[in-house]
Amino acid sequence: MTQRAKLGGTDLEFYPLQGLGDGLPMTVKVLLEGLMRLAQAGTTAEDNVAALAKWPAPSPDGELPFLPARVLMQDFTGVPAVVDLAAMRSAMQRAGKDAGKVDPLVPVDLIIDHSVQVDSFGFRDSYTRNIEKEIERNRERYSLLRWAQQAFHNFSLVPPGMGICHQVNLEYIARVVQVRDGVAIPDTLMGTDSHTTMVNGLGVLGWGVGGIEAEAAMLGQPAYLAPPIVVGVRFHGALPAGSTATDLVLTLTEMLRKHGVVEKFVEFCGDGLSSLSVPDRATMSNMCPEYGATSALFPVDAQTLRYLEITGRSLEQIDLVERYTKEQGLFRGDGDPIPRFSELLELDLTKVEPSLAGPKRPQDRAPLPKVWESFNSAFAHDPKPSPEAISRLTGEGGPVDGRAAS
């Protein structure tokens, strides 16, 4: 069943899904392709590939292995992982073995962003001052990371001051389609941050895990997933004037929390996607931890290719993404049939209205015309405030002193 084929117009091979993934959600197709590669490597049985191809039929083994194409780490969890690798190399050396054999088997990108402090601001050279202070303050830690960058073959380091890990991942690191030993594969990842799902907006399947799970993946040990439950969200129309991606994500979060998507995969579909840019999509995928899903995937489409172009990816990479996803059935186009999902929700973008919510409970959304009513019910317990109360809170009719506002 698991056979390679030539990817048209390239010198690469790939594992074709034709005849296996018809009608499946994109999320399941990506997991299926990874399972095919693990089956050829002897990590899982061919029966599991056949079972997932018949999704939602259960797997014979009950759980399915998943090994990402890469691992993303920020400094808080990445540094302990590097220390573990260094300790393993020391142990190998003490045992008289080849320490160089201790190396990540899955490529790792470590982005230093969570620990950066701002000591200087308002000056023309504030950026330089802050970076110099950062390196001075954490010299020992950065010396270790610099050693790791030259010692390990599958380890890359993004230095401090380059941006937060999700931004760097989305704009620079994510490739949508990776190449491994002459084989084109989907770009998938595990990241040591719950908001790793932000990259789902680019058509890259990934989610957040703990440091131990990420370290295991880095060393080639797959994670085991229950047969996926995939909730489809079909978008119709386009956002009206005055409504933003923030209004949309608050509406979406409210809807998904009400429906219940914890430990499920969310996937977006429908012609309404064509009106949403990748930054808008990333906003919705970024909120995945707030509505509790494992991931929230937007399929690759024309908007994805446009984003790759405007963020400076090479023409060769963009061409590879388009060729591979279209041949694999991973490319979404207007008018395409809706995949068969475990559950399907509908969202009309034309009805999304300006809203406020949070900051701690984004699911408690209030449309702008009802913000006063929401505020009053929460603090004043008076759904119909008097004109005097409105005047005191808004300052209309003269200055408000402490007694008048009390």
First to last CA, the chain: 74
pLDDT in the model for residue 391? 63
> Which two tokens mark 169?
């991942």
Which residues in 187-294 belong to E strands, given as ranges?
188-191, 205-208, 223-225, 230-236, 265-269
Banded pLDDT at 406 (limits 50, 70, 90) = very low
Average pLDDT, the chain: 89
- pLDDT over 90 percentage in the chain: 65
- pLDDT over 70 percentage in the chain: 90
Distance CA 214, CA 220 (A): 10
pLDDT in the model for residue 369? 86
Whether residue 257 is predicted with pLDDT greater than 90 in this model: the reply is: yes
Of 114, 115, 116, 110, nearest to 72 by C-alpha is: 110
Distance CA 75, CA 162 (A): 13
pLDDT in the model for residue 400? 42
Residue 160 · residue 256 · CB < 8 Å: no
Residue 176 · residue 205 · CB < 8 Å: no
Residue 247 · residue 353 · CB < 8 Å: yes
Whether residue 396 is predicted with pLDDT greater than 80 in this model: the reply is: no
Of 317, 312, 20, 37, nearest to 177 by C-alpha is: 317
pLDDT in the model for residue 398? 46
Q: What is the dihedral of CA 298, 299, 300, 302, to 10 degrees?
A: -80
Banded pLDDT at 36 (limits 50, 70, 90) = very high
Question: What pTM does this model have?
Answer: 0.87
> Which two tokens mark 356?
């406020």
The DSSP result for 137-176, as a single string, is: HTHHHHHHHHHHHHH-TTEEEE-TTS--HHHHIIIII--S
Reported as a single tens digit per residue, the pLDDT across 192-242 is 988 999 999 999 999 999 989 999 999 999 999 999 999 999 999 999 999
Distance CA 341, CA 245 (A): 25
- Which residues is 267 bridged to in the sheet? 232, 297
Kindly list the distances between the CA atom of residue 79 and the CA atoms of 14, 87, 102, 141, in Å, as whole numbers in the listed order: 34, 12, 16, 8
Kindly list the distances between the CA atom of residue 237 and the CA atoms of 268, 270, 272, 275, 361, in Å, as whole numbers in the listed order: 14, 9, 5, 8, 28
Q: Give the contacts of 33 (CB within 8 A, at least 6 positions apart).
A: 15, 17, 185, 186, 328
Residue 169 · residue 107 · CB < 8 Å: no
Residue 252, φ and ψ in degrees, nearest 5? -65, -45
Over residues 343-347, mean pLDDT: 98
Residue 367 · residue 298 · CB < 8 Å: no
Distance CA 342, CA 344 (A): 7
| H helix and E strand count, the chain | 15, 17
Whether residue 390 is predicted with pLDDT greater than 70 in this model: the reply is: no
Banded pLDDT at 405 (limits 50, 70, 90) = very low
Distance CA 397, CA 386 (A): 14
User: What are the extents of the domains in the chain?
Assistant: 5-65, 67-217, 366-405
Q: Give the contacts of 351 (CB within 8 A, at least 6 positions apart).
A: none
Reported as a single tens digit per residue, the pLDDT across 275-326 is 999 999 999 999 999 999 999 999 999 999 999 999 999 999 999 999 999 9
> Which two tokens mark 288?
């995945």
Whether residue 27 is predicted with pLDDT greater than 90 in this model: the reply is: yes
Banded pLDDT at 402 (limits 50, 70, 90) = very low
Banded pLDDT at 76 (limits 50, 70, 90) = confident
Kindly report which listed range (189-193, 269-273, 309-313, 387-391) carries the lowest average pLDDT score: 387-391
Highest mean pLDDT: which of 4-8, 132-136, 231-235, 389-393? 231-235
Banded pLDDT at 389 (limits 50, 70, 90) = low
Whether residue 404 is predicted with pLDDT greater than 70 in this model: the reply is: no
Over residues 96-106, mean pLDDT: 91
Whether residue 401 is predicted with pLDDT greater than 50 in this model: the reply is: no
Superfamily for the 67-217 domain: Aconitase, domain 3 (3.30.499.10)
In terms of residues, how long is the chain? Answer: 406
